[in-house]
Amino acid sequence: MNRLLATLFLATSIPAAADPSRGEIIYKQICFTCHGPTLDGGIGPSLKDQYWHHGSSPSAILDIIDHGVEGSEMIGYKDVFPELDRLALRDFLLSQQEGVREMIRSIYPPEFFKEKRLTPDLFKTVESTSQTLLPENWIYMPRNAVGVIRVTAKVHIQKPGSYHFAIRRLGRTAVYFEGEEVHYSDDSKPKGDDFNKALDLKPGSYTFEILHTEKKSHSYRFHGTLTGPAGSAAKRFPLSGRSLQGNIPKVIVAGPEVKIVRKWIKDLPPRALLCLLPNKVIVAYNTVDGSILKAWHSAEINQTPSLPDRSQKQSEINGTEIPESTRSILQSSNIQFLGYESKGDEAVIHIVVDGQPTTITIAPKGEQSFTISTKSP
């Protein structure tokens, strides 16, 4: 077994058990302020998407909980919570995962695999030329790379039902799921010889591997998805994409409903709450003192600067600043931030002012402005 695969297997095959419900309590007390109430991200990265810069295995997640991330606001909690609590937090995070995780790409010299059916056993007698943990958890190849690809990964399933692998018919591709061959295609053979098996899956974590080779022209063109139960809420987990380690733009733009995000933004305090209204107005709310920090029209949130280091650098606001938008909303210094929610085109922020529950509502006004209203019982 290759060294990296063996190390990760030993580190993740026997995780310690803990109570995820206890972990959920800790998350709602501590972690939500940076990662959002639903783990979708804010000042810190999303803990539900496929991109895990520091690794998505149980041991990697626990290491971040214990030791934090140098150069970011993520501190270590090894000296704050007992071990069982930290394990409970890790297990809660794992229980919320959906999609592909822990993906490792190995590249092998192509000569040994010519005209042979790709099977896991075939790779046991050949040493790989490289092994890479893919933080994006989708398959891509380095420029100018040549070789046969072997990818091992896990997939977390939340919705039960029938799943299948949809693989572009290009070159030779084999997919093994929990050790069983569930897909094989070879574009040099009749299409009727291809094999693709549906999978009846229950919620849980599963292992799979993809073996692939093709005649390279300019770059590898492997493309695939794991597709779930049909219907309006059909699940499609991408298996291929581009590396996010470079400066590939990723921008949050306005939609038909308000978007509320917490991002570390240039020239704003790290606890700012960004309300992106449907009229493309962004309002930055200060969760510490309840004031409006700034506002922009014709605006969007550019996350590109933060991607290479997974939110350890600041994102930016692209837009035109609205004059005199900075203002105080409440005449009190005793303000406690509780949380926020989206209601159609309005952002609703829940706070406590001098012991009284209060809501602040931020709504669009015209094409380039916004309104603010407060309500107490």
Question: How far is residue 134's CA from residue 213's CA, in Å, rounded to a whole number?
Answer: 19
pLDDT digits (tens, 9 = 90+) for 190-229: 999 999 999 999 999 999 999 999 887 667 888 999 999 8
- 115 pLDDT band, cuts 50/70/90, is confident
- 359 pLDDT band, cuts 50/70/90, is very high
- CB-based contact 279:364 (threshold 8 Å): yes
- Is the pLDDT at 329 greater than 60, yes or no? yes
pTM exceeds 0.75 for this model:
no
* Mean pLDDT computed over every residue of the chain: 86
Q: Which amino acid, one-letter code, is at 223?
A: H
Distances (CA, A) of 257 to 41, 69, 232, 297, 341: 18, 33, 19, 16, 12
For the chain, what is the radius of gyration of the CA atoms?
A: 24
Taking each helix axis from N to C end, the angle separating 3-12 and 58-67, rounded to the nearest 10 degrees, works out to 70
Pairing between β-strand 335-343 and β-strand 316-321 as defined by DSSP bridges = unpaired
Taking each helix axis from N to C end, the angle separating 83-95 and 58-67, rounded to the nearest 10 degrees, works out to 130
Q: What is the pLDDT of residue 13?
A: 41
pLDDT digits (tens, 9 = 90+) for 264-306: 787 888 778 899 999 999 999 998 889 999 999 999 988 765 5
Read off the pLDDT of each residue in 347-363 and give the average, rounded to a whole number.
Answer: 93
- 312 pLDDT band, cuts 50/70/90, is low
Distances (CA, A) of 181 to 55, 115, 186, 302: 27, 18, 14, 42
Question: How far is residue 359's CA from residue 296's CA, in Å, rounded to a whole number?
Answer: 22
All structural domains of the chain: 3-97 (1.10.760.10), 100-238 (3.90.182.10), 251-375 (no CATH)
Q: What is the pLDDT of residue 161?
A: 93
Question: How far is residue 334's CA from residue 113's CA, in Å, rounded to a whole number?
Answer: 69
Question: How far is residue 277's CA from residue 260's CA, in Å, rounded to a whole number?
Answer: 9
- 15 pLDDT band, cuts 50/70/90, is very low
Distances (CA, A) of 331 to 113, 268, 287: 73, 22, 15
